[in-house]
């Protein structure tokens, strides 16, 4: 595959766990095709995990008591993977999420820690018109 190539995929989906696995699989397949999965299996596993955490968090926390939508955009070029999630639900403050404490393990609260750890850059903001954006950026492993 040429290093000049770039691909972007946008998916509008219900914020529902019913579609978590199919969309996660699509992202995984895209990465498998973009990279050599045999050489980069751990990276692909990590990105599948990051996607799962972001999508599940929005389903659970952005729309706690109503149906909603998520727009997912996946962009790949020769250097980076960018994942963007848009929703119109309840926003949150990422800085308020504590790191896991093994002395008092919780049943939730690990997702944001995973996202922070597995990505190079992240941002979360609201546009003031009811849309929230989670943007994640990761450098691709060398040698694709």
Partner 1 sequence: MEVTLHGEVAVIATDEKLDAVVAPQLKETVRKLADEENKRKIIIDLGKTKFIDSSGCGSLVASLRVLTKNRGEMKIAGPSRQAKSLFELTRLDRVFEIFADVESAMRSFR
In the complex with partner 1, the residue whose CB is nearer, 8 or 25, is 25
In the complex with partner 1, the residue whose CB is nearer, 42 or 93, is 42
Tokens 């941002």 found at = 123
Residue in 78, 81, 83 with CA at minimum distance from that of residue 142: 78
Closest contact distance (angstroms) between CB of 121 and partner 1 is: 18
Neighbouring C-alpha atoms within 13 Å toward the C-beta of 73: 12
Closest contact distance (angstroms) between CB of 120 and partner 1 is: 16
Neighbouring C-alpha atoms within 13 Å toward the C-beta of 34: 26
Tokens describing residue 137: 């950026």
Closest contact distance (angstroms) between CB of 57 and partner 1 is: 9
How far apart, in whole angstroms, are the C-alpha atoms of residue 56 and residue 79? Answer: 27
Cα-based angle 113, 70, 34 (whole degrees, multiple of 5): 70
In the complex with partner 1, the residue whose CB is nearer, 45 or 75, is 45
Closest contact distance (angstroms) between CB of 35 and partner 1 is: 16
Tokens describing residue 112: 């944001």
29 within 8 A of 86, measured Cβ to Cβ: no
In the complex with partner 1, the residue whose CB is nearer, 77 or 90, is 90
Residues that bind partner 1 (CB under 8 A): 17, 20-21, 42, 45, 48-49, 52-53, 56, 59-60, 100-102, 105-108, 110-111, 113-114, 117
In the complex with partner 1, the residue whose CB is nearer, 14 or 100, is 100
Closest contact distance (angstroms) between CB of 52 and partner 1 is: 4
């Amino acid at each position: 595959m040429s290093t000049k190539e770039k691909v972007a995929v946008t998916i509008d989906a219900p914020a529902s766990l019913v579609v978590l696995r199919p969309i996660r699989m699509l992202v995984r397949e895209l990465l498998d095709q973009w990279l050599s999965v045999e050489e980069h299996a751990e990276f692909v596993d990590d990105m599948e995990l990051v996607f799962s955490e972001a999508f599940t968090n929005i389903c659970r926390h952005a729309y706690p008591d109503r149906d909603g939508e998520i727009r997912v955009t996946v962009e790949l070029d020769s250097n980076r993977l960018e994942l963007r999630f848009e929703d119109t639900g309840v926003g949150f403050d990422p800085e308020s999420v504590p790191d896991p404490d093994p002395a008092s393990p919780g049943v939730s609260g690990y997702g944001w820690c995973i996202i922070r750890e597995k990505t190079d850059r992240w941002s979360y903001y609201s546009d003031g018109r009811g849309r929230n954006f989670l943007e994640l950026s990761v450098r691709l492993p060398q040698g694709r």
